[in-house]
Amino acid sequence: MRSQILPAVLLAVTVFLLVYGVDLMNERRRAAEQAPPPPLPTGTDVPQPDPTHSLEVYNPVTFMIERFLVPASETGLEEDFVSPVWITIIPRGRPLATDLTPLDLRERWWEIGNTTTDVYLFAPGTPENVRLILEFVPLVGDQTEARIYVSAGETGLFGTRTVEYSFAGHRFRVLSNRGFPYIRVYPKDGWWVNQQGQTNYNLRVLIDGALPPGGYPYEKQLVDGTVDWEVRVGSIEPGSPSWQTTLIQYDPSPTRAYARFGASTRMPESSPPFRVSDPFMPSFPYLDLSLGSLEIQKKSSERLYKRLRELGAGINLWEKNPSPFYYDMAWQQLQLKGFVGIQTAGSYYYNSYLLPPIISFESPYAFYNFAPDVRTNPDRRQVHLLVRAEYAPLEDSFAHQTHKDRSNLRYAWKTEEEDLWRYNIKMAGSYRYTEEIQIGNISLIGVPPSTYPQWVISKRWPVITFIESVNGTSGSEGIYYYDAQTPQSLPWLDGYQDEVPLYFEVPDLEPGTGLSTTSRSNVSLVVDYRGEYSASYFRKPELYFSPLDQRLHLLHADGGLWYVAGGEKLGDHRILRMHNLRKDAYIDGWTLEYVPAQSPPEGVDIEEWSPRAWPGEIEQALYAFDNYLLYSGAEGTELRQVSDYEPARFTITPPTDAATWNEFRQRLRPFRGRESDPTALREWMDQFDGTTLISSTAPLSTVQATKTGFHFELALPPGFRSYGACQQPGVEPGTYLVFVDDAGGCRFEPAAIPSPQVSVLPATLTRLEPGFIYVRVVNEHSGDLIGVRVVLQPITPGGKESRTLYHTVDLQADDDITVGFQWPPPAIEVEALEAGPWSFIGRAVNRQGLILSSSEPVEIMVTPIPAGNPIDIIRRSLALMTPVLMVLVIGAGTSLMAFAFWQQWSATGPEPALPDAARFDRDGDQNNAN
């Protein structure tokens, strides 16, 4: 019986262990997958409480204050808006005064308790809803510590759950998170506010848990008694913080890309006087309980929103910095807002994935104000120039496909409207930081704030885009669109791609009003945004002002596009495309195009798709070549010779400091409000008087710039007029190519169907070996051939047509070019690559598919590759004498096996099998009947 029960019991135990073991294995696997955290630079020694101070709890007092009260009469709502906060002061070590009045409690409650031993409970809404506890603890050496307790909910966000506590035995204890405080604050010299009312901004802050508000990506940092972050704040003068550093102490996910280090400072030359929100608790001025961005209230009532703003509720960076420990009662979260401020004038910070001294990611990010009184006027908080680097040095393992340093810059500035970004330059390259910067207690390698803009503008950037927000863009971070460095452009930047990324010339057209609505903003433009690019720039950024459209352009741009508002049908788009036909420093062509509506491809989520600025139907066109302006539109075509046209009224570099910024604005100011209408190109031309050389009611087509001038194809209907140098007696109505040269010459040639000469050149080819077959194309015709396909038709030795190959080329008049086709062609069927006499026919095919001309078949012998036979393989795979050895070895082994088998499998009968119960002798050998 026992023998039956035991296996069953063991089976049950096994099943249990299996289930438990799987859990354990999973946990260990997760632990095993994480490497130990790297050593981190600063110590986390925590000062000890002073045991001589009594922390015995006396009579707590609870009262309510109306944090923000707005009567219904002021808002039009049905009820008053009230955000009550219940405060409990727990005196320790001595009782509170007994003669406190409600007014005392409402008006000066912070003076009733102290900031040495007392505890404060904050409960928004109802007294039970304690969300934040502030405890003061005296330390050894007359120091003091402020402890902030908050509790995280299921989302991991701190402040979303009540904090549990108890008064058992006249001792106050926090029960949540096993009593560990979330944040500890240590003031240097032990005071929070001095007698002059100035706040002490020399602080050390230890955070046990994720950075506020918590949650992703720091969800593994728990409130467990281990310091996870250390924040240091420093100031040069009391009441005004100068710098702040934030450094991770415990890194639970060393391979995850998240910020591990932050450093910020206030740039002396560009910072207004420090201003922070009025403290909620003046004796501890770093804390606030307020309403956040007020977006909830704004949705409820605009009047309420405005009134709350007037009361100082909410956050308005352009007025004041929010308090650093900011409890948002609307979202019920504790947030760390930063001591020195963020993204306002004078801000300069690093937000790095890597630990110093080598930094990465958003490093640095600088905000400049160039007003002359910025250092004395506290209202000067707006930013005039921002410079943001997305930096990934070689050491940055979190960066995408890094094998070199990457620097990707956003350089945005405003002009006249202080709240609207106007221009933006994006630059991508590979410049490494080299200078040592000291921010507070941390030394890192970066770019000094005072020379940062100059550093950027002085570099020759390989890829660049220039964006103008025609109506200005609000926000604190400049313009997001039309980036120079994107996942689509990285292969081009790294030299792995031969073609310019398509989005430069054909960006996405996003709906919206300036803020991105999809994840593709970096390859998009929105309405009223104008972008220009150069994919191989390698110059210092420079702009010029065009007298035609009265706008700034990027010098040496390859082209650009303006997403013009409008369109007749929903989803249709109108764009103004800019061309640089002569490949020089200036835009010389503008085409207003109508792009029809598009649909997302099958299977693509429409939320993540945008239509693209494909070439559309040209409604108007304007070209400017030296002294000639050429316009075409619905009303016809005009070629005008002008005398006072210069492609650039002036050139200018982006501003880098107050002086250049003011100069920049000064240069542009006369032209404000006089910018040309992008849908009225005729008016652009009419700014310049001149002589009409050609006037036709028909539109032109195929404008081409040449080395000596330009030409275009134009239909001349009856009644056309030509004047001056273009007056050609005897020119009948018809379609002509009009040639205009720089010397002023003008001639007409009838446009005929071009017929280029095509021939296949002799070649020597070996099967499977790389080679070239050349096709020569000569355009003897005076007309251009744009988008011609040069086709190569291979015919196998068996007479079968193989897959055709083609290249698309643009042929100008009199061009004589040779197009090379790689042999063997990529991806051709291997069975088709036989050796023997192949024939090749060359053809020229126009865009409509019409064969313009064809060559005679040329026979080219493809010789077989003399390899692959067994002797060659043997010769390659081993030395001369080895075959002999091989034969001997394998022969010997095989013979041995054969002989052994022959003998073993003998004819005299099978060997008797061993009996079931073996008998063993003393040595354990098996008795064998053999």
Partner 1 sequence: MRTEPDSTRPQALPPVSRNIPAWLVLAPLLYMLFLGGYFVVRFEGRWAEVDTTLFTSAIRNIMQSGHLVPASGEVYPGGYGYQSISFFLVRMTGLEVRQLQQLIYPLLASLVVLPAWLLYREVSGSARGATISAMLLFTQPEFLFVIIRGSHEKFTRTYMLLCLFLLFRSFKLRDTSRLFGLHVGLFYLLAFAFASTNNAMAVSFFVSIGTAMGMRWVQEKVWWLRTRLARWMRKTPPPDLGPLFSPDVQRLFYITLICIGLTYVVLLYIYPYGLSNVSFFTRLGQESVSVVTEGTTTKVNPYSYVKTSWTSLPFYLLVSSSNWILLGGAALIWLWKGVRWFWKGDTLQTESEWLPWLLFASLGVQAVGSVVADMGGGVGNIQVRLFPSISIMSVMLVGPALTRWRPVRLFRPVRLALTAAIALMAVMAGLKVTNEPMLSNKWMFYHQDEVTALEWCDTHLHYAHIWTEFDERLWVAFGMTQGESRRENRYLMNFLRPERVRNVLITDITRLRSSRMKIPLPLPPDSFRVYDNGEAQLYHLRPRTRHQQ
Q: Which of residues 855-884 bind partner 1 (CB under 8 A)?
A: 865, 867-868, 870, 872-874, 876-879, 882
* Residue 624: C-alpha distances to residues 159, 621, 725 (Å): 63, 10, 18
Assess 769 for contact with partner 1 (CB under 8 A).
Answer: yes
Residue 381's contacts (CB-CB under 8 Å, 6 or more residues apart) are 272, 275, 317, 318, 319, 344, 345, 369
Q: Which of 826, 848, 849, 921 binds partner 1 (CB under 8 A)?
A: 826
Q: Which of 601, 730, 799, 910 binds partner 1 (CB under 8 A)?
A: 910
**What does the alpha-carbon distance between residue 103 and residue 280 come to, in Å, rounded to a whole number?**
16
* Token representation of residue 915: 């009996």
Tell the smallest beta-carbon distance from residue 831 to partner 1 (Å): 7
Q: Which of 103, 634, 827, 850 binds partner 1 (CB under 8 A)?
A: 827
Tell the smallest beta-carbon distance from residue 505 to partner 1 (Å): 15
Q: Which of 167, 216, 318, 538 binds partner 1 (CB under 8 A)?
A: 538
Contacts (CB under 8 A) with partner 1, residues 802-821: 820
For 687-729, the three-class secondary structure string (H helix, E strand, C coil) is: CCCEEEEEEECCCEEEEEECCCEEEEEEEECCCCEECHHHCCC
Q: Which of 170, 899, 925, 927 binds partner 1 (CB under 8 A)?
A: 899
Q: Which of 606, 634, 743, 830 binds partner 1 (CB under 8 A)?
A: 830
User: Is there a contact between 490 and 400 (Cβ–Cβ < 8 Å)?
Assistant: yes
Binding mask 389-418 for partner 1 (x = CB under 8 A): --------------xx--------------
Closest CA to 407 of 438, 386, 388, 429: 429
Q: Which amino acid is at 43?
A: G
Tell the smallest beta-carbon distance from residue 404 to partner 1 (Å): 7
Q: Which of 9, 12, 16, 17 binds partner 1 (CB under 8 A)?
A: 17
Q: Is the CB of 362 or the CB of 494 nearer to partner 1?
A: 494
**What does the alpha-carbon distance between residue 926 and residue 407 come to, in Å, rounded to a whole number?**
79
Q: Is the CB of 743 or the CB of 913 nearer to partner 1?
A: 913
Residue indicated by tokens 């073993």: 904
Contacts (CB under 8 A) with partner 1, residues 86-125: none
Q: Which of 434, 666, 848, 930 binds partner 1 (CB under 8 A)?
A: 930
Tell the smallest beta-carbon distance from residue 757 to partner 1 (Å): 25
Tell the smallest beta-carbon distance from residue 914 to partner 1 (Å): 4
Q: Which of 29, 674, 707, 800 binds partner 1 (CB under 8 A)?
A: 29
Part of the chain binding partner 1 (CB under 8 A), chosen from 6-14, 381-389, 479-487, 639-647: 6-14
SS3 641: strand
Binding mask 482-501 for partner 1 (x = CB under 8 A): ---------xxxxxxxx---
Q: Is the CB of 236 or the CB of 886 nearer to partner 1?
A: 886
Report CA torsion sign: 470, 474, 477, 480: negative
Q: Which of 9, 14, 397, 721 binds partner 1 (CB under 8 A)?
A: 14
For 727-750, the three-class secondary structure string (H helix, E strand, C coil) is: CCCCCCCEEEEEEEECCCCEEEEE
Closest CA to 580 of 645, 680, 647: 647
Phi, psi of 661 (to 5 degrees): -70, -40
Q: Which of 669, 896, 925, 927 binds partner 1 (CB under 8 A)?
A: 896
Assess 566 for contact with partner 1 (CB under 8 A).
Answer: no
User: Is there a contact between 137 and 49 (Cβ–Cβ < 8 Å)?
Assistant: yes
User: Is there a cis peptide before residue 47, judged by omega within 30 degrees of 0?
Assistant: no
Closest CA to 685 of 744, 637, 745: 637
Part of the chain binding partner 1 (CB under 8 A), chosen from 510-518, 594-602, 696-704, 889-897: 889-897
Q: Is the CB of 39 or the CB of 729 nearer to partner 1?
A: 39
Looking only at the bridges linking them, the beta strands covering 816-823 and 287-290 are unpaired
Q: Which of 23, 32, 195, 799 binds partner 1 (CB under 8 A)?
A: 32
**What does the alpha-carbon distance between residue 739 and residue 751 come to, in Å, rounded to a whole number?**
12
Q: Is the CB of 570 or the CB of 827 nearer to partner 1?
A: 827
Tell the smallest beta-carbon distance from residue 592 to partner 1 (Å): 31
**What does the alpha-carbon distance between residue 185 and residue 135 come to, in Å, rounded to a whole number?**
10
Assess 851 for contact with partner 1 (CB under 8 A).
Answer: no
Q: Is the CB of 29 or the CB of 800 nearer to partner 1?
A: 29
Mark 273-303 as b/e (b = at least 16 C-beta within 10 Å): ebebbebbbebbbbbbbbbbebeebeeebee
Assess 901 for contact with partner 1 (CB under 8 A).
Answer: yes
Q: Which of 900, 921, 925, 927 binds partner 1 (CB under 8 A)?
A: 900
User: Is there a cis peptide before residue 912, judged by omega within 30 degrees of 0?
Assistant: no
User: Is there a contact between 525 and 508 (Cβ–Cβ < 8 Å)?
Assistant: yes
Other residues' Cβ atoms within 10 Å of the Cβ of residue 832: 14
Q: Which amino acid is at 17?
A: L
Other residues' Cβ atoms within 10 Å of the Cβ of residue 53: 16
Q: Which of 818, 885, 925, 927 binds partner 1 (CB under 8 A)?
A: 885
Assess 729 for contact with partner 1 (CB under 8 A).
Answer: no
Part of the chain binding partner 1 (CB under 8 A), chosen from 331-339, 383-391, 628-636, 829-837: 829-837
User: Is there a contact between 393 and 360 (Cβ–Cβ < 8 Å)?
Assistant: yes
Assess 911 for contact with partner 1 (CB under 8 A).
Answer: yes
Tell the smallest beta-carbon distance from residue 669 to partner 1 (Å): 37
Part of the chain binding partner 1 (CB under 8 A), chosen from 286-294, 363-371, 778-786, 888-896: 888-896
Angle at 730 between CA 724 and CA 736, to 5 degrees: 80
**What does the alpha-carbon distance between residue 361 and residue 16 come to, in Å, rounded to a whole number?**
48
Q: Is the CB of 502 or the CB of 865 nearer to partner 1?
A: 865
Q: Distance between the two ends of the chain, CA-based, in angstroms?
A: 42
Number of residues lying near partner 1 (CB under 8 A): 91
User: Is there a contact between 230 and 211 (Cβ–Cβ < 8 Å)?
Assistant: no
Q: Which of 718, 762, 770, 799 binds partner 1 (CB under 8 A)?
A: 770
Part of the chain binding partner 1 (CB under 8 A), chosen from 61-69, 160-168, 225-233, 826-834: 826-834
Contacts (CB under 8 A) with partner 1, residues 662-681: none
SS3 81: strand
Q: Is the CB of 52 or the CB of 904 nearer to partner 1?
A: 904
Assess 849 for contact with partner 1 (CB under 8 A).
Answer: no
Binding mask 426-465 for partner 1 (x = CB under 8 A): ------------------------------------x---
Q: 3-state DSSP helix/strand/coil percent for the chain, to nearest 5? A: 15, 35, 50
Contacts (CB under 8 A) with partner 1, residues 517-536: 536
